[in-house]
Amino acid sequence: MTKSIKFGVYVPGDLARELEELSKQLGITSRSKIIQEALQLFISEHKWRIEGRVVGVIMIIYNHDVGNVDEKLTDIQHKYIEEIISSLHVHLSKDKCLQVIVVKGDSSKIRNFVNELMNVKGVLAVRTSLLGEPV
Ligand code: NI
């Protein structure tokens, strides 16, 4: 454990009140603990974007009636075969599909993969939940 440092932050009143209420209900009394946990979550949520290896999930919702979206998404996935561990397809409705792809690999490659998926016409939403790969 390194030496702790103190710093002050400004937060909107609403956010502070909501946090106060939630921490009371959860029985968390230390404001520092809350901030530390929030900072650790922020770091693991965003660090992967810069460098290193990541592991997680990419979710795509798309309209399979648009152009040849299925074929394009399949082609892209074949390009990133080394990064894909598993995937799952769910037919949501008559024309909407959900594709969940579990990935593991270099953050720059995963970032390119996500960007390519986002640029396919017919793709309605792409969400990622990626974390720095635990060593
Ligand atoms: Ni489908």
* 3-class DSSP state of 25: helix
Distance CA 49, CA 68 (A): 30
Distance CA 76, CA 74 (A): 5
Q: What does the radius of gyration of the chain's CA atoms come to, in whole angstroms?
A: 20
For domain 53-132, give the CATH superfamily: ACT-like. Chain A, domain 2 (3.30.70.1150)
Distance CA 52, CA 74 (A): 26
Distance CA 99, CA 70 (A): 10
pLDDT in tens, the chain (135 residues): 688 998 888 999 999 999 999 999 999 888 888 889 888 888 877 777 777 899 999 999 999 999 999 999 999 999 999 999 999 999 999 999 999 999 999 999 999 999 999 999 999 999 998 888 765
| Extents of the domains making up the chain | 13-47, 53-132
Longest dimension (CA), the chain: 58
pLDDT of residue 49: 73
Predicted TM-score (pTM) of this structure: 0.70
Q: Determine the distance separating the centroid of ligand 1 and the alpha carbon of 93, expressed in angstroms.
A: 8
Q: Determine the distance separating the centroid of ligand 1 and the alpha carbon of 54, expressed in angstroms.
A: 27
pLDDT of residue 71: 96
Q: Determine the distance separating the centroid of ligand 1 and the alpha carbon of 104, expressed in angstroms.
A: 24
Q: Determine the distance separating the centroid of ligand 1 and the alpha carbon of 94, expressed in angstroms.
A: 8
Ligand 1 being an ion, which residues bring their Cβ within 5 A of it?
Answer: 91, 97
